[in-house]
Amino acid sequence: MSSADTRRNVGARFRNGGGTVKGFVQRVHSPHPSLNDSLEGELQDFLTDEDQLHTYDDLTKVNPVTPTTVLKCLQARYSVKVFYTHAGCTLVALNPFQPIPDLYSLDVMKEYHCAPQPKEFKPHIFIVAEEAYRNVRGQLEPVNQSLVVSGESGAGKTWTSRCLMKYYATVAASSSVVKSQNTVERIERRVLDSNPIMEAFGNACTLRNNNSSRFGKYIQLQLDRCQLLVGASVQTYLLEKTRVACPPDNERNFHIFYQMMKGATDEQRKEWKMPRGQRFTWLPKSEKTLEEDCFHETVEAMVHLGINAERQRQIFRILAGILQLGNVNFSSSADESQLCNLDEQSKDFSQRAAELLCVPAEELQTCLRVRTLKAGKQSVLKPCPQAECSMRRDCLAKVIYAQLFEWLVTFINNSICADESMWCNFIGVLDVYGFECFHINNLEQLCINYANEKLQQHFVAHYLRAQQEEYVSEGLQWSFVKYQDNQSCLDLIEGSPVSVFSLLNEESRLNRVSDTKTFRTRLEKELCGNANISWDKFSKEPHFTVAHYAGKVNYQIQGMVEKNKDPVPPELISLLQKSDNPLLHQIFTDKETENPTNKGLSKVTVVSKFKNSLESLMRILHTTTPHYTRCIKPNPDCKPLTFQKEEVIMQLEACGIVETIHISAAGFPIRIPFKDFMQRYGLIEKYSNSMSGSCCVDVETDSNGILRQEVEKLLSVVLHKAFDLDSEKHNSWVHCGRTKVFLTQSMLDLLEDQRKKILSRCAFSIQCCWLRYQQRRRHARQQAATLIQAAVRSWLVRRKVQKWNRAAAVIQSTWRKWRALLKSLAEAELDDAKDLVEEDVSALNPVIRERGSVQLANIQEPVTVRGWPMGLALASAPSITMSLTATGFQKMMSVMASLNLPSRRAEYKVETNQYTKGLASIRAQPKGSVKMHYQRSPLLYADRQPDMKTDVTGFNEILLEKTL
């Protein structure tokens, strides 16, 4: 069968869901075609519609999987400004080298965080972050997560790590609890503010990247049981402190020095003894301005982390003192027994450095030019040659900067790290220096590339080798996919008993001056059997070449042993311990207490210390669930939106992207032991069997056979519930091994969906029962409250009615007494009928009778009115016919009393008062001749006109009754 047919068969299996398991045979693909090959055969079929290549959001959909097809897809997506692409279990990120608006906004974060299935969205770094966060929230073993961001220098690792931290600080801090909101915001801000400080003191502009990390860091974001961010911790690895005193050609020093030069005020410059226009030897390319040269942002971050103004002043004075040290130059004296000479300018710079470091100037100059030798209990002072003076000066600057950086990391950890009782899980973000290959490479590049080899080996062990070996051990029929294993390179660098590191340590611990040619000869003799190391015998400079996973690198031997020794003269440490700068004194006093000076073979070298810290990191990574993001640098010049095929294809082949895609497309990326699988998904079978009444197996049983049967039953239930699949398709989605269940991502999503549905139903049933219980309880309380209220109200009503009855009895009794009193008074005041009969009415004077009488219609005889108002007498009937015989003043008074004559705007309206108001006295109705006693009448207001606005009360209300 031809290679083309082989790739077509493999691609067909990929399209059918990742390939079958039972009877599955995958053939090893032929060597990758070069970029210059014509696109014919199977590649032509794939690339016929190149306009649609940018729609391939997952490289496992590519058919066939070759470097050319993968490269074409990435180039097509990059051309339409799509920078993230899934590559099976990893995420490929291409650096655009320019800001992309709204690509990392808060709205995008919320969109991915709230999505039911984030993988259904476009590929993004937030998908990786959200997957890790949901694993912690779902407590999937191992619960702790690690996000490994790898790639070359300038590929965008630092920016990606910054976005990940911002995502978790936003998502994991979204608490609705008002009480803890201030604490959450404080932790979030401090975690984010640690980035500007770490980058200012640990990053620098290199030939390949304007913001290259010159140290490695692993940030643990600590989460509590509610998956809220409560703290963080930072672990750093191998700061490139040699850059302080020996920055490479055409590269810059650390950002913090340039920030001070460009952002300091006049007062700060005066305090730091840095006048404008002054140049420093250790600050090359100072005229170049970068976005990272933001001094105000660094100072603001220090304030937020709790570094007060006085402590900041001490830090910047130390940094300014380091810069002044760089301008101190030594010249050899004519007599070797004399000290090296310092010109006037160098003396001035050393004086400034001593004042800034708060140490005696003369003692500083002595420590730089004089070496103390101990012979028994005696000390001998020996002048140092010019080269050693410069080395001691550089050593002083490097040790001060390294210890200051370490103090900053410790301070940051104390500021943002939570107590162990407050957090239970963490998400780690690993940002390390990328693979480096410069014109001149030394110990720093060897350690950096060694760290990248370890990470690549972890990726290979976790995803490529271990996954395939586990397929075979679990009984899956599998043909291995070839991949590049870098274990032999690691054995060369760190292996036992003989390796580059072991030989370097032995050479460093010998109390003699190292010889580069001798060391090269020893390396060649001891390591000649390893194919990953080679030598150029015709090179003038002694060096050795290591074949790394990402390419070959030449390492210069000159100076490597001295750098590994990292000697610090004790005179310098003693000088710094006497410093009047509180921070500098504290740093070196604590350092002397914690790490006493080691001597002889027990001395810790740079590579041994770095190896131990890296092994500690790898142990952490092995106990977590890793998530890999591969950052790709599309062009070596960092030009925006420029894609160079040769640059990208080398990185794809170096990091094993093509092999990863092969295994991810054909294999099962999710592996869960039977016991854990049943604990998590056993409720699906339990819920399905609840209607039939069958019992479920005990998940605590140790029998894998019984557990496997139950797992198969559960999987058959899930698959038949979702859709009716044939058995062959079942095997392409899931496979039961000897001890584990192997799943594709689609099958895992299906299981999680079924589990969520059942949990939702159970939660709904619980809610219904709880609501029913609450409703019944509320109804019972309402009935009890109603009975209590009815009883209280009835008691209150009875009490009120009884009170009313007592009051009514009192009122009635008083009323009756009052009526009887009034009746007796009225009978005594008014003429009685018997008195009218017996009384002898005297004859009226004819004149009075004529002028002071009133003729009523129902009385035959005229009624005589003597000064009494006629109103009361005339109100006995609704219709009155009268003849007024009164004249003069009596006539006027009678008319005024009888008529209502209100005055309004000089007009008079005449109306009968008694008829309209309906008030009269029955007792006052004249019967024949009536004798009226005006002065003694109880009708006090009978001669007044009743007013609508005045209520008649008292005796008048009783005596004046309303007539209809």
Kindly write down the DSSP assignment for every residue of 771-839, as one continuous string.
HHHHHHHHHHHHHHHHHHHHHHHHHHHHHHHHHHHHHHHHHHHHHHHHHHHHHHHHHHHSPPHHHHHHS
Read off the pLDDT of residues 542-565 as tens digits, 9 standing for 90 and up.
Answer: 889 999 988 899 999 988 988 888
CB 426 within 8 A of CB 144: yes
Contacts of 548 (CB under 8 A, 6+ apart): 435, 449, 452, 453, 486, 489
Residue 433 has pLDDT above 50, yes or no: yes
Concerning whether 579 is annotated as a catalytic residue, the answer is no
pLDDT band per the 50, 70, 90 thresholds, residue 479: low
Average pLDDT of span 626-632: 91
Catalytic residue among 20, 66, 135, 153: 153
pLDDT in the model for residue 889: 58
More confident residue, 688 or 947: 688
pLDDT in the model for residue 373: 81
The answer to whether 444 is a known ligand-binding residue is no
Average pLDDT of span 920-943: 46
Q: How far apart are CA 63 and CA 69, in angstroms?
A: 8
Catalytic residue among 18, 154, 231, 326: 154
Using DSSP, state whether 470 is helix, strand or coil.
Answer: helix
Concerning whether 507 is annotated as a catalytic residue, the answer is no
The answer to whether 155 is a known ligand-binding residue is yes
Token pair, residue 650, equals 């080398």
Residue 48 has pLDDT above 70, yes or no: no
pLDDT in the model for residue 129: 94
Closest C-alpha among 397, 159, 201 to residue 302: 201
pLDDT band per the 50, 70, 90 thresholds, residue 798: very high
The answer to whether 540 is a known ligand-binding residue is no
Token pair, residue 332, equals 């050899």
Catalytic residue among 144, 146, 158, 505: 158
Give phi and psi for 226, each to the nearest 5: -95, 10
Average pLDDT of span 602-611: 82
Out of 188-202, 457-471, 520-534, 855-869, least confident range: 855-869
94 beta partners:
632
pLDDT in the model for residue 179: 43
The answer to whether 842 is a known ligand-binding residue is no
Catalytic residue among 144, 160, 213, 605: 213
Share of the chain above pLDDT 90, in %: 33
The answer to whether 216 is a known ligand-binding residue is no
216 beta partners:
237
Place of tokens 């965080």: 113
More confident residue, 650 or 602: 650
pLDDT in the model for residue 846: 66
Residue 605 has pLDDT above 50, yes or no: yes
The answer to whether 372 is a known ligand-binding residue is no
pLDDT in the model for residue 593: 53
- List Cα–Cα distances, 322 to 88, 281, 325, 403, in angstroms: 49, 11, 5, 13
Residue 757 has pLDDT above 70, yes or no: yes
State the chain's mean pLDDT as an integer: 78
pLDDT band per the 50, 70, 90 thresholds, residue 863: low
Catalytic residue among 202, 231, 326, 434: 434
pLDDT band per the 50, 70, 90 thresholds, residue 538: confident
Residues found in the chain: 964
CB 425 within 8 A of CB 223: yes
Helices first, then strands: H and E counts in the chain: 36, 25
The answer to whether 151 is a known ligand-binding residue is yes
Read off the pLDDT of residues 299-342 as tens digits, 9 standing for 90 and up.
Answer: 999 998 889 999 999 999 999 999 999 999 988 877 777 888 88
Residue 918 has pLDDT above 50, yes or no: no
pLDDT band per the 50, 70, 90 thresholds, residue 924: very low
Q: How far apart are CA 913 and CA 898, in angstroms?
A: 6
pLDDT band per the 50, 70, 90 thresholds, residue 730: low
Residue 781 has pLDDT above 90, yes or no: yes
Concerning whether 212 is annotated as a catalytic residue, the answer is yes
The answer to whether 152 is a known ligand-binding residue is yes
pLDDT in the model for residue 25: 29
Residue 767 has pLDDT above 60, yes or no: yes
Concerning whether 153 is annotated as a catalytic residue, the answer is yes
Read off the pLDDT of residues 76-115 as tens digits, 9 standing for 90 and up.
Answer: 999 999 999 998 888 999 999 998 888 999 999 999 999 8
pLDDT in the model for residue 769: 94
pLDDT band per the 50, 70, 90 thresholds, residue 16: very low
pLDDT band per the 50, 70, 90 thresholds, residue 18: very low
Place of tokens 């066939």: 64
